Each structure stands twice: as structure tokens, then as C-alpha cells.
Amino acid sequence: MNRIAIAQVDPCVGAMEDNTALLVKYIAEARDVAGADTVIFPELAVTGYPPEDLLLRPHFHVQVQRALQRVTDAARGIDVILGYPQPLGAKLYNACGLLRDGEIITAYHKRNLPNYGVFDEKRYFTEGTELNLLTTPHGKVALSVCEDLWTEHHAREAAQAGAELLININASPYHTDKAAVREELLRRRARDCGLAIIYVNLIGGQDELVFDGGSLVVDARGEFVLKAPQFEQGLYLVELERAAGRLKLTAKSPRARGADFNGSVYRALTLGVKDYVSKNGFKGAVIGLSGGIDSALTLAVAVDALGAENVAVLLMPSRYTADMSVEDAQDMAGRLGVACHIVSIEQPFTAFAAILAPIFENLPADTTEENIQARCRGLLLMAVSNKTGKLVLTTGNKSELAVGYATLYGDMAGGFAPLKDVPKTLVYALSRWRNRNGEVIPQRIIDRPPTAELRFDQKDADSLPDYEILDPILEQYIELDRTPDEIIAAGYDQDTVHQVAAQVDKNEYKRRQAAPGVRITERAFGRDRRYPITSRYRER
């Protein structure tokens, strides 16, 4: 173990043949091109992460064993360390194995199984109980898997057993500021335990989750030796040697530059869209472009993720659509070079109104007519999706979904929601960030007050608090689990806070039917936040 290659790879859950080919490719590149004698892959690299209830299917493990055998056969002339599920009798372990010269030499079983947030590992795996130390020419090396590093016990025990290096393989999903959290953890763990640490992370989109890579190497003093880039596949090299009786690590790949906040969020969104579309076999994406900020940012993300040639947009004006909305939408579509079709919904909207007139006789117009417009648009988008094989990307943001400012089977119709976990204020910040090197999103879209344009002179502010007020309240209520009284004590208006909390509570039925979307916060709707639909609980 002199030159180590860190392999940041993007496997697909359950695609055992493709994953095997990916691993074998990187094994050959690490050995034959990079000159490494060890290559390290992430957690559950053979199956992709998280495989969820596929782990309960017996034939899944038959395929895993076939794939693992092919990877083992490729492990000649180089040591391979990687993750895979390992059945032993009636138990299943989350394993980290060492493969060498066509054999599995040893395997470590993950000892700390996360069961919070997006993680549900205790449903599937049994906790390991033993350390696993490798003896190398440079001293003892301990194996570990992801959560083992987050509790001090494993690293401390490894150091007490004589280990000088801890190898930690991960499937650690992205959220904002996660890179900084990881770096601080590695610094602290290395200094406290006197261990150098090699931290290898997965990349790629898997349903709601995005894995951002950002693999790290830190020496026993807590100084970073290597920082691999986020959101990029690749091999990153580090060399080991003994100097003055100590283990010395030297990077042989350049240190990646850290991304700014908006840049990392934007890259997470594009990777999430790219992998969801490609891994599920869609031919591209179709978007309803309204001339508003949400659909504009969604289009920019889709083009950056998939290429303009794989994205189509529909402009679907109604009697309430302002001329500037059509102009700005056409302008943006032209700037990005995407196929653009204008299809008025006036005819189907009028037809629905006529059909329903006898039932609605003497009843005033209300949100019913607004929702019919949204559902006309959803029908048209789904028709184009069916005909072309392109996936409909919905355009709603987290703020709207939180308070139910969305139409079931209308603007919520679609297969994936890139902005599902993006608050409205962040939508604006990301749009300005995307325009930093040239105006892609017309400035007028960013400047104009947000509106759904489902009635004359409509503004979001007619029904909602200003987003600069709404978003901080939502963050405290949803992501930080603060009570209304605590939020009010922080300086927010009492009536506004109770109104927002009530809207969040009563709209779970809508969120449960929403498309999956990219997770960028620590409390996204879906896997992170599991509330009952039928509930009379209120925070008053």
C-alpha cells in the first residue's frame, strides 16, 4: 500500500452489470494508468446506495455475488477495497472487503448503522462487532464504513489497537454545508485519535438523494492532504511512506477548489436531474415555461444537466397571461436554444367551463377555475411526455409546496421536481448566480413580483406573506422543528406564524402526492419528514 487511488464513482442502484463494468474500468485505470497498488471505492459500490428493499429479495443477492466475483477476478496486481452487502447465514452485513489476486482476503462489517433522517439501515443490516486491522508495510490500517466515523468509539478503538490509518468508505448524501461538516469531523477525529484518515465518498443522484463526492485525506495532525472535487467522477491519488517513524501521506492529485454556497446547490440540482433522467431511461425533459422565476430556473438546470437538444418547453398562455410573460419565456428559450412550442389553453379551459356550467350554476368563480387552468397545462405536458419519452419536470419550490400553494394534477403533475427542496428566496439567489457570467434568465423575470397568473392582476403576496418573511418561518417550523411560540419569540408576527403553521399542517396530503425532487436541506419533504396525512394535531 504505497500509492492509493480514491475512486469517486456514480453507480446505479440495482444495475449490477453496469456497476461491475464501472468498477472494473476504474480498477484497470488505477493499476495500469495511475500506477496505484490499492484502489478504494465507496460504500455499497457494487449495488449502489441505498438499495432499500431490494436487499430483501433473495435473487438480488445472487446477482450481487455474481458481480462481486467479476470484480474479485479483476483484482489482480492491485488491492481493491470496496463496499457490498454480505449475507452470513440469516444475517446481512454492510461490508467493506479487501480483494486481492482473485480472492476476498477479509471483510469488515459496519458497526454503527444509521437510522435517522434519510437512513434506514437497521431495517436491513446487522451491526458488526469486531475491528478489522490490515497489516501493511507502512503499519496497521483499520477499515470502517461511513457512520463508524461519526461516533468516536470506532476510531479510538482502532488507534488503541495500533492503527495509524483509518480507511472510511461512504455513501454520504449532500445537503447545504455538508462539506464543511465533514471536514470539521475529519479534523477532530484525526487529532483526537492520532489517526490519518482516507475518506472516500460516492457521487451521483439516486431518487431524492444526491451524493456529492468530495473525498478527503487528512493526516494525524488534522491537516488536509487531499480534497477531491464535489460532483465529479474520477481517480484521486495519494502516496504513503514512513518518515522519521511516522506515516506520511502526500497528494498526487491537485486539491479541488471549494464551491461557493449557491454553486454547490446548483451543481447538486443539475446532478440530481441528470442522473434521475438518465438512470430511469427518459429521453430528456419537457417543462412548462411560464415567464416566471421557478420555471426559468428549472429550465436552466435542465439544460445544464441534459443539454439543450434534450429539453423541450411548452408556453401555455391563458386569458390571464401577461404579454411580458410570453415574451420573457420565448426570450429565455431562445437564449438556451431549446425547442419551444406555444399552445394556448384558452380552448380547453373554455370547453371545461362550458361542460361544468350546469353543475356550477349560480356559484361564484373561485380557485376551482384557477385549478382547471393548471390542470389543462398538466394534461398537455403529460401528453408531450408520453409522445416523446421526455420526463415532465415540475417547477414548484419548497415554499409553495410547504403551504399548499400548488395544484394537484396541475402544476404538480410530472415525474421529478428539481426545486422541491429549494425555498423561494433561494430560487432567486440561484437565478442570479446562474446569470453571473452572462444573462441566461432575463432580468425582468427576476425583477417582477411573483405571480401564478391564474386570475387578473394576481400576485403571490395576495395569498402568502412575503417570501422574505415566509421562508425563515418555514425553515424554523419544518427544518428546525421549532414551535410557533418559539418562532414568535424570535420576532415574527403571531398571526402570520400561526397561519403558516396551519397551512403546513393541513397540506401533507398534497406533499405525499408530489413528485420526488432533489434533496438539498437536512429536512426535505419525503424521506426526511414523515408526517401522517390524516391528523388533527395542531400546534396551538
**Is 259 a residue whose pLDDT tops 80?**
no
pLDDT above 90: residue 435: yes
Banded pLDDT at 131 (limits 50, 70, 90): very high
- 250 phi, psi to nearest 5 deg: -130, 125
Q: Which is the catalytic residue, given 12, 96, 121, 146?
A: 146
Tens digit of pLDDT for each residue in 453-472?
777 877 888 888 999 999 99
Average pLDDT, the chain: 94
**pLDDT (mean) for 108-130:** 94
- 81: CB partners within 8 A, 6+ apart: 38, 39, 40, 41, 96, 97, 98, 99, 143, 167, 169
146 labelled catalytic:
yes
At residue 138, does pLDDT exceed 80?
no
Confidence check: pLDDT of 537 > 70: yes
Residue 258 has pLDDT above 80, yes or no: no
CA triple 470-209-93, angle to 5 deg: 135
Q: Global pTM?
A: 0.95
Is the separation of the CB atoms in 319 and 373 below 8 Å? no
The three cell numbers locating residue 431:
437565478
Integer Cα distance of 384 and 202 in angstroms: 34
Q: Are 442 and 332 in contact (CB under 8 A)?
A: yes
Q: What's the average model confidence in pLDDT over 397-418?
A: 95
Residue 247 pLDDT greater than 90, yes or no: no
Write the pLDDT tens digit of every residue in 298-318. Answer: 999 999 999 999 999 999 999
In this prediction, residues 214-235 reach a mean pLDDT of 95
Is 43 a known active-site residue? Answer: yes
Peptide bond just before 50 cis, omega within 30 deg: yes
Which is it for the CA torsion 451, 457, 459, 464, positive or negative? negative
Mean pLDDT, residues 278-297 taken together:
96
Angle at 293 between CA 292 and CA 299, to 5 degrees: 95
Q: Of 12, 43, 279, 424, which is the active-site residue?
A: 43
What is the per-residue pLDDT across 179-209, written as a single tens digit (0 to 9) for each? 999 999 999 999 999 999 999 999 999 999 9
Which of 12, 110, 193, 370 does the annotation list as catalytic? 110
**Measured CA distances, 17 to 13, 64, 210, 349 (Å):** 11, 9, 22, 49
What is the pLDDT confidence band of residue 1, given thresholds at 50, 70 and 90? low
